[in-house]
Amino acid sequence: MYLKAACSDIPVSRQRGGPRLERCPSSNQQRQGAGTKWYPSSPTGCLPGSFEASRPQEQQSLEELLHVHSHLFQAAVRPCASMVYRNLGKSGLRVSCLGLGTWVTFGGQISDEVAEQLMTIAYESGVNLFDTAEVYSGGKAEIILGNIIKKKCWRRSSLVITTKLYWGGKAETERGLNRKHIIEGLKGSLQRMQLEYVDVVFANRPDSNTPMEEIVRAMTHVINQGMSMYWGTSRWSAMEIMEAYSVARQFNLIPPVCEQAEYHFFQRDKVETQLPELYHKIGVGVVSWSPLACGIITGKYENGVPDSSRASMKPYQWLKDKIMSEDGRKQQAKLKDLAHIAEKLGCTLPQLAIAWCLRNEGVSSVLLGSSNPTQLTENLGAIQVIPKMTAGIASEVDHILGNRPHSKKDYHH
């Protein structure tokens, strides 16, 4: 009986005094004949990592070896696309091109057990970027995220944890981007997540009540204090981001490295026309969210709003109205045509949508929001579709959507 090892790194242990497993000789040893044990020929030949069990004891030992190291064999043969990593903007921080977001799901739509399953699947698939915010589920999302990281004993240095500040509490002093709330808000987030620092802290929206210099100085302060590695913006205009950059350069402070922006088939203008210029001029990249348009692009709303969907939840009446509108019905018709492209590429419509977002060179990472393991696993499969997103495929998508914004440059790969 021959056992062909699926992974050369799998250790072969032998108890003292137990049966010895003889390795097949190499071709060089066969030629030299020096101290090698000869084995009967087999149809498959003698390969490195192959063993012969000619006695019952040896067969039993091999079976025990398989049982002990079965997880290593399974990992070696499990089909899995390799994660792709990109720089966060033009900083040196490497982030997985797919990240896991916690909006709506953690502390709300899903249980803590499902949240742990999702994070485990993501982490084991190479995802290193996990995004949350102080406002998500009133701080519960951060608590759940931190508990999972602590329970799983993942190395902190292997993770990129991001959170967002603006809505911290009901008091007037517990919101906004003033120096007080940026410092106190981030301290609160770190306590909830049981972390010493986050990798990126985002300003969750612009704050017209706070001078830009105060915002940039406060963000620089929390970075200098070791509470965050970088800072970024979320839902800021290109003009506001440029102002923050200019203030940082004027006063020798730290500028933002990225902007979180909504980006999908039906929301394109900002990411495709405004932010590319910032990426090339000042190095601000994009972490995009809602690649499936809050679930619209999954096709689940083709025949109305299911009771278990996000749009059926009371706080998301606006999403339900959007789906049921005339524009919403037109979008569903376009999705049917886009499904044919996905079929041609051998992928699902959500995978096509996610890979389409990643075709843009300025997009550092796309945040996925999943409510169950099956959905997350499917979405992570978009990695395999990225190489198929040619200029021709992108043109077909543009033709169906009919909403390509005018830009100075074609950013398709």
Higher pLDDT, 318 or 376: 376
Task: Looking at the structure, tell me whether residues 63 and 130 fall in a common domain.
Answer: no
- For residue range 248-266, what is the model confidence (pLDDT) as tens digits? 999 999 999 999 999 999 9
- For residue range 327-351, what is the model confidence (pLDDT) as tens digits? 878 888 899 999 999 999 999 999 9
Mean pLDDT of 383-409: 92
pLDDT tops 50 at residue 76:
no
Q: Which domain holds residue 236?
A: 85-401
Number of structural domains (the chain) is 2
Among 123, 136, 230, 301, the active-site one is 136
Q: Examine residue 333 and state whether it is found in any structural domain, yes or no.
A: yes
Q: Examine residue 159 and state whether it is found in any structural domain, yes or no.
A: yes
Measured from the Cβ of residue 78, the count of other Cβ atoms closer than 10 Å reads 8
276-to-265, 271, 284 alpha-carbon distances in Å: 17, 7, 9
Instruction: Please give the pLDDT value at position 96.
Output: 98
Q: Examine residue 406 and state whether it is found in any structural domain, yes or no.
A: no
- For residue range 181-192, what is the model confidence (pLDDT) as tens digits? 999 999 999 999
Task: Looking at the structure, tell me whether residues 17 and 164 fall in a common domain.
Answer: no
Q: Look-up: residue for tokens 């009967």?
A: 40
Q: What is the CATH number of the domain that holds 222?
A: 3.20.20.100
Task: Looking at the structure, tell me whether residues 61 and 199 fall in a common domain.
Answer: no
Task: Looking at the structure, tell me whether residues 143 and 230 fall in a common domain.
Answer: yes
Average of per-residue pLDDT values in the chain: 83
Q: Examine residue 413 and state whether it is found in any structural domain, yes or no.
A: no
The tokens describing 201, both together, are 């802290």
Burial class (CB in 10 A: 0-12, 13-18, 19+), 345: middle
- For residue range 263-311, what is the model confidence (pLDDT) as tens digits? 999 999 999 999 999 999 999 999 999 999 988 898 776 666 666 666 6
Task: Looking at the structure, tell me whether residues 286 and 257 fall in a common domain.
Answer: yes
Task: Looking at the structure, tell me whether residues 49 and 92 fall in a common domain.
Answer: no
Higher pLDDT, 29 or 221: 221
Closest CA to 184 of 173, 172, 199, 195: 173
Q: Tell me how far apart the alpha carbons of residues 185 and 324 are, in angstroms, rounded to a whole number.
A: 38
Q: Examine residue 408 and state whether it is found in any structural domain, yes or no.
A: no
Mean pLDDT of 351-360: 97
Instruction: Please give the pLDDT value at position 64.
Output: 57
Out of 35, 61, 77, pick the residue that ends a domain.
77
Backbone angles phi, psi at 6, to 5 degrees: -80, -15
Task: Looking at the structure, tell me whether residues 324 and 226 fall in a common domain.
Answer: yes
Instruction: Please give the pLDDT value at position 325.
Output: 76
Mean pLDDT of 168-194: 97
Q: Examine residue 411 and state whether it is found in any structural domain, yes or no.
A: no
Mean pLDDT of 111-129: 98
Task: Looking at the structure, tell me whether residues 13 and 109 fall in a common domain.
Answer: no
Task: Looking at the structure, tell me whether residues 57 and 142 fall in a common domain.
Answer: no
Task: Looking at the structure, tell me whether residues 98 and 221 fall in a common domain.
Answer: yes
Task: Looking at the structure, tell me whether residues 45 and 194 fall in a common domain.
Answer: no
HEC letters along the chain:
CEEECCCCCCCCCCCCCCCCCCECCCHHHHHHCCCCCCCCCCCCCCCCCEEECCCHHHHHHHHHHHHHCHHHHHHHHCCCCCCCEEECCCCCCEEECEEEECCCHHHHHCCHHHHHHHHHHHHHCCCCEEECCCCHHHHHHHHHHHHHHHHHCCCHHHCEEEEEECECCCCHHHECCCHHHHHHHHHHHHHHHCCCCEEEEEECCCCCCCCHHHHHHHHHHHHHCCCEEEEEEECCCHHHHHHHHHHHHHCCCCCCCEEEEECECCECHHHHHHHHHHHHHHCCEEEEECCCCCCHHHCCCCCCCCCCCHHHCHHHHHHHHHHHCHHHHHHHHHHHHHHHHHHHHCCCHHHHHHHHHHCCCCEEEEEECCCCHHHHHHHHHHHHHHHHCCHHHHHHHHHHHCCCCCCCCCCCC
Report pTM: 0.78
Task: Looking at the structure, tell me whether residues 335 and 354 fall in a common domain.
Answer: yes
Would you call 39 a catalytic residue per the annotation?
A: no
pLDDT tops 60 at residue 399:
yes
The tokens describing 126, both together, are 């190479």
∠ CA(48), CA(54), CA(55), 5° rounding? 135
Torsion angle, alpha carbons of 396, 400, 404, 408, to 10:
20
- For residue range 33-69, what is the model confidence (pLDDT) as tens digits? 444 333 333 333 333 344 344 455 655 655 555 454 4
Of all residues in the chain, what percent carry a pLDDT higher than 70?
Answer: 73
